[in-house]
Structure 1
Amino acid sequence: MTTQDREDRRRLGAVVLAVLISQVLLYPGVPALVVELGAPAGIDAGTAFVVAEFAAFVAFAVVWGVASDALGRRIPLVVAGAFGGALSYVALVAVPWFGLGFEAALAVRVVGGALTIGAFSLAITTLMDLGGGNGRNMGTAGLAIGLGAAVGSVVGGVLADVGAFYPVYAGAAVLGVAGLLAATVDDRVADRRPAAARAASDTALDRAPDVGFRDVLARARETPALFVPFAFGFVDRLTAGFFALVGVYYFQDPETFGLSATGAGATLALFFVPFALLQAPLGTLSDRIGRFRPIVLGSLAYGVVTIGVGVAPIYPVAAGLMVLVGVCGALMAPATMALVTDLVEPEARGAAMGLFNVFGSLGFLTGFLVGGGATEAFGYTTAFLAVGGLEIAIAIALLPAVRAVAPRLQEGTGRVSPDPP
């Protein structure tokens, strides 16, 4: 591990942190922002606003990855994505100034999402290019993601109470800083390959565009047990997307707790902070006790606590339960990702984790859609019951499958045993 690797890890972690802050800054103020952009008040407009960006995330993440592989460089694309995302935030502010409608704002969100995901996804991919161990490098990314969400939710709430567009101004500035910081990172994706790989680069690049979702899915079919962590990843992210959208409306609704945007942002942080800070120690715990208990018990508890937030009679109870939601999420999330690693050979781990993230991203998007639709049709309580119940149902339904496939560490050896727990 070189000094340059350590410095680049810190800078790339800061880029990931900045991108997450810029994204989450807007969430606490979404109810007021969509009205300023020309939409009617209500959760339907908020749903459309967040879905537009995230749908672009899902659609364009692979496009940026293929482009970076073909180019043999990542940093110029990270910089372009960050600056492009900053410009999209400026364009969002200009929508009402030019008298354009909410549909134009949604189009800007799609374009901005397509650009911003390049900075986010390729910054993490560049972390994977560094030395020092994938665990440490991905730990940096995970910490940056969690802290970025926590900081963004708190600061975004404060800014939204000052003015609906203040979080947008701040998001543009933060993305601009991310682009400047990324430009200082050494781009060594081609330099780190073995000599034989560099000599065969032309052939590899010819094949690169053919490696897509179908190839990754085919690899997963060779190991059907992978669909167990994929299912949990989908539902877990669905719940996170639900909180990011419905939670904001729920805590600000005058008929529930009537919080300000600042209060709603701080409440989201009660989830994000423990979720970020506890992932490393609880992931280590799963190395000691196996994946079965953290995944199944964590998911059961996660579902129960989620329902509890939706039926809490007073705010202090709901706030305390939000902390528990973060703790339960931190218990199961690293164990679920570790199970993916346990189940495949090293040469297939990149493809397996790529597909895991596809399922997770689709889960997040589904959480926006299901949460917004269920809340509009049936109310907050039913929506929380549905999402929390889905988490419980998946844990119960897949309990035998997790027991069958979750390896445990052989006591005192640090090696994985294929025996069920």
Structure 2
Amino acid sequence: MRQLIYLAFICFILMFSVTMIYPVVKHYVMDKYEATVSQASMFVAVNLIAYAIFAPVWGSLSDKLGKRKVFITTGLLGNSAMLFLQAIAPNLSLLMLFRFVEGIFTVMVYSIAMTLVLDIARKEAYGRGMGVIGMGIATGTAFGAPFGGFLGSLNPVMPFYSASLLIFLAFVFALIILEDVEVESSKSVLEGIAVAKKRKELLIPYLFSFVDRFTAGFFISVFPIMLGTLYQMTPKEIGIYLSSFLMPFALLQYPGGFISDRFGRIKPLILGSIIYGICISSVGFLTPPAIAISMLVAGVAAAIILPASSALSGDLAPKDLKGAAIGGFNFSGSLGFALGPAVAGFIAEKYGFSQTFYIAGISVFMVTFAAVLLLRKWKINAF
């Protein structure tokens, strides 16, 4: 359990640090480098693209080598270096390059950390283990941006230097404290990347990972705009409404993992997804303050879904391809997170805010229905 807490702490520092820079994209990327809105958006997107491309690569490579710790420490050190280089980048092109490489190192850390959970925890405790890591990732994400906004108000470059320093300290911590485990090596990297072809049932948690982060993309992009445009909310009020989702999502990951260990993966996934889909659809027709209540319930449901779906990936993973299985899980999620904001923006601009969230809810219902059909087809029991 102690090693799981160490991993969660490392993931917290990582995500707290990398999200610190989001509030200063306008003041740093656009103002200093004279970037356009689309270029500033690409600054965010290239990071997510790197996540999607390299999540399965690092997972498969760690399986091949039978090592985990070296990937976590290397990822932390590389991430720290890339954030420092972004703080001193001489032009926009190099800034974008450093941002992309930073994403490569970021996904190396948290994807392999999730894999290490499967190596450490007993199979019947995968849900709680994933809940501990998920809590670290989610709380870091929730608290990093506000702190970055505070630092950015002093100087827009400060979040980059601060994030670089914090992650370097996390690297030193991991190097000294984190223990590696002996794992069975896989035959090849290519075999690992194709793990979903070998174990087709992994498609089920991958679908949930995709749609969960796809719809999260709606909330980080269109939701704040909707609150400001339709209800004339201030940035502070918008932050409160976002926190009504983020706080329960971050703080209830471990209880969510316990539920999946106690009642199986499938039941919490299906029930949680139905509740989640209803809540995000309701954003399209509710008004404040009812929206905050719906978001609160959605956050609770999401805290049940994530540890159950990631633990299900571990349940279904071949013994020597756990890293590849989690890499595929994170690839699916990163792909969804990259597509979500673009799709949400298109729908909102063409059809309106209400229709945007109806579509978000429908996408959850469609994936849930598809998962039920696949469960019946492949005769998968509720683990």
Bucket of the pairwise TM-score, normalised by the shorter protein: 0.7 to 0.9
1:175 corresponds in structure 2 to 167
Provide TM-score, normalisation by structure 2. Answer: 0.82
1:217 corresponds in structure 2 to 196
1:419 corresponds in structure 2 to none
1:239 corresponds in structure 2 to 215
2:334 corresponds in structure 1 to 361
**Alignment partner of 2:276 out of 281, 290, 302:** 302
Higher relative contact order (CA 8 A, sep 6+): 2
Q: Deviations over 1:83-141 (max 9, x none)?
A: 3222322332334xx4x23x443322112111222233333444444467762543331
2:234 paired with 1:259: yes
2:311 paired with 1:332: no
* Unaligned ranges ≥5, structure 2: none
Q: Which amino acid counterpart does residue 103 of structure 2 have in structure 1?
A: G
Q: Deviations over 1:164-205 (max 9, x none)?
A: 44433332232222212112135534xx35xxx6xxxxxx57
2:366 paired with 1:393: yes
1:228 corresponds in structure 2 to 204
Contact 1:232 1:394 in 2 (8 A): yes
**CA distance 1:69–1:355, shift in 2 (3 Å):** closer
2:34 paired with 1:38: yes
Q: Deviations over 1:26-77 (max 9, x none)?
A: 3345455543342334xx4554222110111122233334554566654344
2:79 corresponds in structure 1 to 85
**CA distance 1:278–1:74, shift in 2 (3 Å):** closer
**CA distance 1:380–1:357, shift in 2 (3 Å):** same
**CA distance 1:129–1:342, shift in 2 (3 Å):** closer
* Unaligned ranges ≥5, structure 1: 1-5, 198-203, 409-415, 417-421
**CA distance 1:402–1:218, shift in 2 (3 Å):** closer
Q: Which amino acid counterpart does residue 59 of structure 1 have in structure 2?
A: I
Alignment of 1:334-353 (within 5 A): 334-340=307-313, 352-353=325-326
Larger radius of gyration: 1
Provide TM-score, normalisation by structure 1. Answer: 0.75
2:4 corresponds in structure 1 to 9
**Alignment partner of 1:138 out of 130, 135, 142:** 130
**CA distance 1:122–1:323, shift in 2 (3 Å):** same
**CA distance 1:388–1:259, shift in 2 (3 Å):** farther
Q: Quote the RMSD (CA, aligned, Å).
A: 3.4
Alignment of 1:45-84 (within 5 A): 45=39, 47-69=41-63, 73-84=67-78
Question: How many residue pairs get matched?
Answer: 379
**CA distance 1:337–1:282, shift in 2 (3 Å):** same
2:102 paired with 1:112: yes
